[in-house]
Structure 1
């Protein structure tokens, strides 16, 4: 597979909030050969990077060794790099190679920290557009992405409707619901109330690891369903060698240290070694703030200029972005006269299913990229979906990217 990884300077960049930085750098990777009409942009989720495919770590991924969608992107896979020219860019505000809070401000020689401008999904989209201009890619065959990456996909259809033929928002919605907003707010408060956060100025000292660890654990629970947690952990005690990560109350010694606690502690320990706390604050706010209808009358109006095809994919036990939310998005697309299918996948992996179920996700994506909505693996809920249907909560590890 022909893979290129690099960091490109886009020069002065003005963010949606009105603030500017003198130089925005984007870390990106490309796969395959560009033929003029075969470009596919892949948008990563919250804590992902540009390293979407390939087993060895590419430079600039700043600690993310494993490609986050290697089961989907590659030669002969759903997004076939022998057929498509695939681009994935790390978003502004992240800590995986693109300019963000931990980057050095060239005007001060110090990390930006919380002096970095507020970032939005719109900023991600505009930065990607400028990157594609630099790469000589004027038009996209498709934009594909999961979770907040799916919101990034929607923003492409909204802001650059003439530049995209097909969109695939996966496990995504037009906006977050209040429950997820509340949980994200608690996660951010775990970081900002850690004494080591120090107002975001911690780069010369100890980082707010405890706060970031708790934020990561909240994120994991948001992505796990009752059924998946019961199957994976039950009420089992952790093994004899398991050691509690966080301080405990005196009574804890009488009670078991459970397997689910040990798992969350381990994931938190791994995460704080590779991710930046300020970046986590910035990226979750970008996700929470996203509203497809912003600047328009409603979702239908926001999508009215897009004349391409859309494949919306959702998962039955995803409570972060539910099937109902996906169907509401598909309905808005239908009302905007888009050619759209809403493909629902039965899964007890929940939100992370788009990462961990390539056998279910790959076929409809591959068919849609190749044949549009006539693909044989694509089903549509248009006449079948019942809004009152209820689906339980799930996840495995979006944040382990």
Structure 2
């Protein structure tokens, strides 16, 4: 598979908040571009441009994957996969505000020589989309065959249909909605409180750049080194996120009420709780602590604040009378994919989104996957999400999805709440 990993200098970029900074965007491309076969893949909240390929540490990987341990959609994107890199030219770009190679809060402000921190401009999903469009111009990529993405990446997809309808033929928003509901807004708000109330967050100024040089401290130990990073707050934020990614059924199957044992707690990320010694340390707690420990090693707390705010702020209808009005300029086709066990972005929200496409006059397929995996299903059930994507890319809403595993025929992807 022909792959390129690089960073594009896009020059001064004005964010929707009105501020401008020099913007570099980390991206990866796969396959060969022939003028009309480009597919843009939009990553989810804490994803990177590394959508497919070898895992970190694999000799075939070269140097690094942008900090992410593994390609996040290798089961869907790649040679012979649903988004076949032998047929399509796939582009995935890390979004502004992230910490995986694209300019964000942890990047150095050229005017001060120090990390931006919370002085970085406020970021929106619209900014992500505009940055991607500029990157594609930089790469010489014309109209897109398709844009696909899951979760907040699906919002990114919707913004493409709204903002650049003439530049894309097909859109595939997966496990997403036109906006977050109040319950998810509340969970994100608590997650951000966990970060901003961590004493080490220090108003977003917790970065240590070469200790001595940054502070003039001849002892070799800077204030930042003494203070540390807001790992505890970021850990709790991530744990809240993971709870929202799983369904009740999947949590019961994975963990039940089983105890993980005191030996497991000895290695836990969680702080000690002497009063809890009488009670079991459960497998579900161990899982959340493990996820937290791994996450704080690879992600930046300020980036988490910025990206969750972008997701919370997104509203497809912003600037328009309705979602359908926002999509009225799009003349291509849409495939909306949702999962029955997902309470982060529900089937009902996907149905309303599909209805908005149809009201706008867009040929739309509403594909509901029976799953108890929760929001994570779009990542962990490639055998379910891959076939409808593959067939929609090939034939639009007239495509049919067939399981590679057992040749079981799915319902036509255009069979939806709107009838056959």
Normalised TM-score (structure 2): 0.90
Partners in 1 of 2:307 and 2:126 — Cα distance?
12
Look up the SS of the partner of 2:115 in the other structure.
coil
Could you say which residue in structure 2 is the equivalent of 1:393? none
Contact 1:341 1:382 in 2 (8 A): no
1:155 alignment partner, one of 137, 159, 170: 159
Name which of structure 1's ranges 45-54 and 369-378 shifts more when overlaid on structure 2.
369-378
Could you say which residue in structure 2 is the equivalent of 1:182? 186
Matched, 1:294 2:318: yes
Could you say which residue in structure 2 is the equivalent of 1:2? 2
1:189-268 equivalences in 2 (<5 Å): 189-204=193-208, 205=224, 206-242=228-264, 243=266, 244-268=268-292
Could you say which residue in structure 2 is the equivalent of 1:388? none
Could you say which residue in structure 1 is the equivalent of 2:391? 367
Q: Any unmatched runs of 5+ in structure 2?
A: 209-223, 402-411
Per-residue deviation, residues 269-310 of structure 1 (Å, max 9, x unmatched): 000000000000000000000000001111011000000000
Partners in 1 of 2:300 and 2:14 — Cα distance?
23
Could you say which residue in structure 2 is the equivalent of 1:37? 36
Contact 1:60 1:96 in 2 (8 A): no
Q: 1:60 to 1:306 in 2, by over 3 A?
A: farther
Contact 2:247 2:375 in 1 (8 A): no
Matched, 1:351 2:375: yes
Q: Which has the higher contact order (CA 8 A, sep 6+)?
A: 1
Contact 1:6 1:60 in 2 (8 A): no
Instruction: Measure how far apart 1:53 and its partner are.
Output: 0.4
Look up the SS of the partner of 2:90 in the other structure.
strand
Partners in 1 of 2:149 and 2:64 — Cα distance?
21
Partners in 2 of 1:48 and 1:362 — Cα distance?
19
Partners in 1 of 2:64 and 2:11 — Cα distance?
19
Instruction: Measure how far apart 1:61 and its partner are.
Output: 3.6
Partners in 1 of 2:42 and 2:271 — Cα distance?
38
Could you say which residue in structure 1 is the equivalent of 2:49? 50
Look up the SS of the partner of 1:10 in the other structure.
strand
1:306 alignment partner, one of 307, 310, 330: 330
Partners in 1 of 2:55 and 2:349 — Cα distance?
36
Partners in 2 of 1:151 and 1:63 — Cα distance?
24
Matched, 1:167 2:171: yes
Partners in 2 of 1:318 and 1:8 — Cα distance?
36
Could you say which residue in structure 1 is the equivalent of 2:18? 18
Contact 2:50 2:66 in 1 (8 A): no
Partners in 2 of 1:82 and 1:246 — Cα distance?
45
Matched, 1:71 2:70: no
Per-residue deviation, residues 109-156 of structure 1 (Å, max 9, x unmatched): 100000000000000000000000010012100000000000000000
Contact 2:195 2:237 in 1 (8 A): yes
Extract structure 1 runs of 4+ deviating beyond 3 A: 56-62
Partners in 2 of 1:203 and 1:94 — Cα distance?
15
Look up the SS of the partner of 1:202 in the other structure.
coil
Could you say which residue in structure 2 is the equivalent of 1:131? 135
Query: Highest CA radius of gyration, 1 or 2?
Result: 2
Look up the SS of the partner of 1:340 in the other structure.
strand
Partners in 2 of 1:12 and 1:143 — Cα distance?
25
Instruction: Measure how far apart 1:246 and its partner are.
Output: 2.3
Partners in 2 of 1:60 and 1:153 — Cα distance?
27
Per-residue deviation, residues 311-345 of structure 1 (Å, max 9, x unmatched): 00000010000000000000011111100010000
Name which of structure 1's ranges 197-206 and 370-379 shifts more when overlaid on structure 2.
370-379
Contact 2:144 2:169 in 1 (8 A): yes
Per-residue deviation, residues 184-224 of structure 1 (Å, max 9, x unmatched): 00000000000000000000221100000000000011111
Contact 2:269 2:292 in 1 (8 A): no
Partners in 2 of 1:270 and 1:253 — Cα distance?
25
Partners in 2 of 1:138 and 1:251 — Cα distance?
62
Instruction: Measure how far apart 1:226 and its partner are.
Output: 1.1
Number of residue-to-residue matches in the alignment = 384
Partners in 2 of 1:381 and 1:309 — Cα distance?
14
Instruction: Measure how far apart 1:384 and its partner are.
Output: 6.4
Name which of structure 1's ranges 368-377 and 32-41 shifts more when overlaid on structure 2.
368-377
Name which of structure 1's ranges 363-372 and 373-382 shifts more when overlaid on structure 2.
373-382
